Amino acid sequence: MINYNIYIENDYPDWIIDEEKIIKAIQEIFKFYLNTPEIAQNCCLSEYEFDTISFDFLFCDSKKTHEINKEYRQKDYPADIITFAVFADSPEEEQFVLDFEINLGEIIIGLDKIIEEAQKKEISKEVELLFLISHGIMHLLGFDHQSEDEFDFVVKHQKLALESMGIKYDKI
């Protein structure tokens, strides 16, 4: 059994996140991914022994994601999600497990962008948020989408993760 240290900070006052509900969903998504062979065997965790996974979430607005995107990624636009996959993106010699705990990194989500996207897709903001959370977790596990095949792989597994929770997502 894996323990999760999930830290959530919400700097977006217009959407009060139910942290307990979100943490439960994050754990379900994570468990789904680690029980999916093509993910578990190819993710950044596959060669390591651990019993605890930790990562952070920052929920904010697109002004903040724009600042972060510009400062750290040299991209001058607001993002709906930014992922700093500290463990997955580090060279192997810098990946470390301390007391059987792995810190995967941080996911930053612009909640105003989630609300806009949900309205466009005519779905609930909660479903859109879970879809983006599942996307960020794929990045933390070391999956990217530089090619169309990689993008299809990531999105397919995001949808499957949500389906495993009883949520149908077909709004790409």
User: Has residue 141 been placed in a domain?
Assistant: yes
Q: What percent of the chain has pLDDT over 70?
A: 99
Task: Please state the domain count of the chain.
Answer: 1
pLDDT at 134 over 70: yes
| pLDDT at site 48 | 95
Examine residue 28 and state whether it is found in any structural domain, yes or no: yes
Question: What's the predicted TM-score (pTM) here?
Answer: 0.95
The domain of 28 spans 3-163
pLDDT digits (tens, 9 = 90+) for 8-25: 999 999 999 999 999 999
Q: Is residue 149 part of a domain?
A: yes
pLDDT at 172: 62
The Cα–Cα gap between 149 and 158 comes to 14
What single-letter DSSP state applies at residue 43? S
pLDDT of residue 22: 96
Any domain includes 77: yes
Per DSSP bridges, beta strands 52-60 and 81-84 are unpaired
Cβ neighbours for 171, distance < 8 A, ≥ 6 positions apart: 121, 122, 123
pLDDT of residue 112: 98
> Is residue 168 one of the residues assigned to a domain?
no
Sign of CA dihedral 144, 148, 47, 133: positive
Q: Classify residue 169: in a domain, yes or no.
A: no
**pLDDT tens across 103-120, in order?**
999 999 999 999 999 999
**Quick one: pLDDT at residue 93?**
86
| Mean pLDDT across 136-164 | 96
pLDDT at 96: 86
Q: What mean pLDDT do residues 70-96 have?
A: 94
Give the CATH number, domain containing residue 84.
3.40.390.30
In a domain? residue 170: no
pLDDT confidence tier of residue 66, bands split at 50, 70 and 90: very high
DSSP one-letter string for 95-126: ---BTTEEEEEEEEEEHHHHHHHHHHHTS-HH
171, pLDDT greater than 90: no
